[in-house]
């Protein structure tokens, strides 16, 4: 779940949430045009990429104010293709249909809707690199570089200096020039292979590891790295190979050089950890701290600041890279206990989902998860969207907007943003799920590849219309669906996972994530009996904090006692049966076979006339319009002897077109499909000869 918005919540106060703007282009009170060029020497070769243009309120740094819940920073985006050192790109209007080639804006679609006034204006160009992945899919994406894949102004971006501009409310042209390149702080540390997942400077107890992932590099066709921040317990000695420690793998967002877990972010905790004592405070004596190794992962990825730590058709085999390449490397390098009972998954929000998903998919590797306020565990509620039932992701049947961020004041719910507002806010940052923002990464992780090579989106990002066929492909990532459908087969998850899943969420979760947890509980209880998964829903708690809102040492003590209980000498050791290799899921081969390029091609079919090759005049014909990706808008046209005959007509995928053969000749059905972020394509049916 959102990496930055939570910070804005505290400050958001009592703002009424802004209503999403009407998407239709309304009147055009002004005619604002922005022309962008490049200072000489800044761009060596033409590049593809995304330009984001920001108009922040007077006196505000555009980069300080990009958030969906903060003040109205108008943001416009446009893709560029082969943008060269001598080229100029023009922003004007707002794209009505195509976000692929047009300008798209937030909170207004069009630049012409910008209210007159003074703004601080700045533009950013994110460069894309085009790669052909091992499954044959070809994408243009931005590869992050030790900066956590921000949605704008990432490493290597071209930027214009921020300038104060008065928008006058009439015809006006602004000229801006890219003059700078965004760098990241120079790394102090032992670096290998460049800035991707950067290695930082180590301290006595904080170590950095980084490996080139063979599996990811093979998929992406370029060098790809994964890294980890490793915090060692007090008394750890590199030379003592007999003392071994359990490991907490703490999942979450990009953690850069700031340390693992809460280590080094919280001085008091760090000092106590380094001493190996739990401070007793004024009333109790100090106690020895649990001896654990704490690890976080660094896996900034082309679509987001982290990969969600599982195997997915759009991001590649990140689950395997972390679990089968990086963890063995960590276990080689540090004195860990190499057994599932001593490998713990934990995390909150995004990390909450990652931690539970890793135990559910890899019971052979990990013992247990302590998952806090996880991203939607069950897509009956994707946040507050009823994904399997609703027709629209943004509006309910009664016309009201589906909320997405809330807080509570005086025990009353205050909505801060809607699903529509957040999705529209993402649009200027990137097309085809490339905004490096929350809803887009969910599309990339939960969904498969579309025929356009990019994530197959579950709904129209502009209108919110849900595509049930695309949603169907999300089911393997719907964690309760996955558990129930593997309940008693060879994975035997009913038995395998019993007693190994701990989930916590507050009933006032700011992102409505309690709803997905409740759906998960309902479905797993229905097959496993009440309490099959240990779920805590604390009344009136919000998003954040440790598992069950425990104080940190209280939490670590709970984890430590789980490890002791489930170790070989504990009260309920994990049996080899529940950690057998057969329990493993989310296999890369299956994931890519089902969701990669070959599957996308196999989903397509040209139109087909159902008839003999030769027919006589007067015959009535049926034709299928072909198979297309969900969301394609189709227009059909009968053709005789290679020329259109009659009028073009709209058809729906899966439907049948009818024709009565009145004239002689070679008859075909042509169907043209179009969709935002897809190439418009015309497919022709088989030919049928109409004889007299």
Ligand X SMILES: *[C@@H]1O[C@H](CO)[C@@H](O)[C@H](O)[C@H]1NC(C)=O
* Residues at the contact surface with ligand X, assessed by CB under 6 A: 14, 21, 25-26, 58-59, 72, 74, 93-98, 101-102, 107-108, 113, 115, 118, 179-180, 237-239, 282, 409-410, 412, 414, 484, 487-488, 502, 527, 531, 534, 548, 567-569
For the CB of residue 523, give the shortest distance to ligand X in the complex, in Å: 10
For the CB of residue 530, give the shortest distance to ligand X in the complex, in Å: 9
Spatial separation of the C-alpha atoms in residues 12 and 687, rounded to whole Å: 63
For the CB of residue 597, give the shortest distance to ligand X in the complex, in Å: 27
With b for 16 or more beta-carbon neighbours within 10 A and e for fewer, the 443-455 pattern comes to: bbbbbbbbbbbbb
For ligand X, the closer CB: 557 or 619: 557
For the CB of residue 513, give the shortest distance to ligand X in the complex, in Å: 18
For ligand X, the closer CB: 320 or 519: 519
With b for 16 or more beta-carbon neighbours within 10 A and e for fewer, the 125-136 pattern comes to: bbbbeebebbbe
DSSP codes of every residue in 503-549: EEEETT-TTSHHHHHHHHHHHHHHHH-TTSSEEEEETT--S-SSGGG
For ligand X, the closer CB: 488 or 610: 488
Q: Which residue in the block uniquely carries the two structure tokens 């990652």?
A: 354
For the CB of residue 321, give the shortest distance to ligand X in the complex, in Å: 29
For ligand X, the closer CB: 59 or 581: 59
For the CB of residue 310, give the shortest distance to ligand X in the complex, in Å: 23
For ligand X, the closer CB: 369 or 657: 369
What totals of helices (H) and strands (E) does the chain contain, helices first?
15, 35
For the CB of residue 19, give the shortest distance to ligand X in the complex, in Å: 10
Spatial separation of the C-alpha atoms in residues 252 and 294, rounded to whole Å: 13
For the CB of residue 465, give the shortest distance to ligand X in the complex, in Å: 19
For the CB of residue 348, give the shortest distance to ligand X in the complex, in Å: 15
Tokens of 262: 């809460």
Q: Cβ(217)–Cβ(224) under 8 Å? A: yes
Spatial separation of the C-alpha atoms in residues 316 and 596, rounded to whole Å: 10
For ligand X, the closer CB: 14 or 400: 14
DSSP codes of every residue in 651-683: E-TT-EEEEE--S-EEEEEEEEEE-TTS--EEE
For ligand X, the closer CB: 132 or 575: 575
Q: Cβ(208)–Cβ(229) under 8 Å? A: yes
For ligand X, the closer CB: 136 or 531: 531
Tokens of 3: 């990496």
For ligand X, the closer CB: 320 or 509: 509
Within the chain, what is the greatest distance between any pair of CA atoms?
A: 103
Angle of helix 419-426 versus helix 438-446 axis, rounded to 10 = 90
Distances (CA, A) of 439 to 213, 421, 479: 27, 11, 18
For the CB of residue 508, give the shortest distance to ligand X in the complex, in Å: 14
H helices present in 296-418, as ranges: 318-320, 327-333, 350-361
For ligand X, the closer CB: 98 or 557: 98
Tokens of 148: 């956590």
User: What are the DSSP E strand ranges found in 273-396?
Assistant: 277-278, 287-288, 293-298, 311-312, 316-317, 343-348, 368-372
């Amino acid at each position: 779940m959102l990496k930055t918005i939570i910070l804005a919540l505290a400050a958001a106060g009592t703002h009424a949430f802004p209503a999403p703007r009407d998407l239709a282009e309304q009147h055009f009170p002004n005619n604002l045009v922005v022309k962008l060029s490049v200072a000489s020497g800044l761009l060596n070769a033409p590049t593809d990429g995304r330009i984001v243009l920001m108009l922040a309120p007077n006196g505000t740094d555009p980069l300080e104010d990009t958030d969906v819940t903060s003040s109205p920073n108008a943001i416009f985006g446009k893709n560029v293709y082969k943008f060269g050192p001598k080229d100029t790109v023009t922003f004007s209007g707002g794209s009505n249909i195509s976000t692929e080639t047009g300008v798209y804006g937030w909170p207004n679609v069009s630049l012409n809707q910008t209210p007159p006034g003074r703004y601080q204006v700045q533009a950013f160009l994110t460069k894309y690199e085009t790669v052909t992945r091992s499954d044959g899919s070809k994408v243009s994406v931005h590869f992050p570089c030790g900066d956590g894949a921000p949605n704008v102004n990432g490493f290597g971006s071209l930027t214009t200096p921020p300038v104060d501009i008065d928008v006058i409310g009439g015809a006006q042209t602004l000229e801006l020039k890219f003059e700078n390149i965004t760098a990241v702080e120079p790394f102090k540390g032992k670096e290998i292979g460049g800035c991707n997942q950067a290695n930082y400077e180590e301290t006595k107890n904080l170590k950095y590891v980084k490996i080139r992932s063979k599996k990811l590099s093979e998929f992406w066709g370029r060098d790809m790295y994964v890294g980890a921040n490793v915090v060692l317990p007090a008394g750890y000695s590199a030379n003592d190979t007999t003392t071994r420690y359990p490991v907490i793998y703490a999942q979450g967002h990009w953690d850069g050089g700031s340390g693992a877990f809460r280590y080094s972010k919280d001085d008091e905790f760090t000092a106590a950890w380094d001493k190996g004592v739990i401070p007793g405070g004024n009333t109790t004596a100090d106690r020895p701290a649990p001896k654990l190794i704490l690890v976080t992962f660094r896996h900034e990825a082309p679509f987001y600041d982290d990969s969600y730590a599982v195997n997915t058709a759009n991001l590649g085999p990140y689950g395997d890279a972390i679990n089968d390449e990086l963890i063995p490397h960590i276990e080689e390098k540090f004195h860990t206990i190499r057994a599932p009972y001593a490998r713990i998954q934990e995390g909150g929000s995004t990390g909450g989902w990652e931690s539970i998903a890793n135990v559910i998919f890899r019971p052979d590797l990990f013992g247990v998860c302590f998952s806090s306020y996880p991203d939607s565990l069950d897509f009956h509620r994707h946040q507050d969207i009823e994904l399997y039932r609703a027709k629209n992701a943004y509006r309910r049947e009664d016309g009201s907007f589906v909320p997405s961020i809330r807080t509570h004041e005086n025990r009353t719910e205050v909505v801060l943003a809607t699903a529509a507002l957040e999705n529209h806010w993402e649009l200027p940052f990137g097309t085809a799920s490339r905004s490096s923002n929350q809803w887009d990464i969910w599309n990339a992780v939960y969904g498969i590849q579309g025929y356009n090579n990019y994530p197959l989106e579950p709904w129209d990002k502009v209108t919110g219309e849900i595509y049930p066929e695309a949603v169907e492909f999300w089911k393997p990532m719907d964690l309760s669906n996955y558990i129930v459908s593997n309940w008693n087969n060879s994975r035997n998850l009913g038995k395998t996972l019993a007693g190994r899943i701990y989930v916590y969420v507050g009933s006032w979760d700011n992102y409505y994530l309690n709803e997905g947890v409740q759906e998960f509980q309902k479905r797993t209880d229905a097959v496993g009996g009440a309490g099959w998964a240990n779920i805590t829903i604390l009344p009136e708690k919000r998003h954040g904090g440790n598992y069950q809102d425990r104080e940190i040492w209280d939490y670590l003590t709970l984890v430590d006692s789980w490890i002791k209980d489930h170790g070989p000498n504990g009260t309920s050791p994990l049996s080899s049966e529940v950690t057998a290799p057969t329990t493993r899921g989310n296999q890369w081969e299956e994931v890519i076979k089902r969701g990669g390029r070959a599957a996308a091609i196999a989903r397509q079919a040209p139109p087909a006339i159902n008839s003999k090759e030769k027919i006589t005049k007067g015959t009535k014909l049926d034709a299928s319009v072909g198979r297309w990706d969900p969301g394609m808008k189709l227009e059909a046209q009968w053709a005789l002897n290679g020329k259109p005959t009659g009028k073009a007509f709209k058809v729906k995928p899966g439907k049948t077109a009818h024709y009565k053969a009145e004239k002689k000749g070679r008859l075909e059905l042509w169907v043209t499909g179009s969709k935002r972020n897809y190439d418009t394509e015309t497919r022709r049916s088989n030919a049928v000869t109409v004889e007299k």
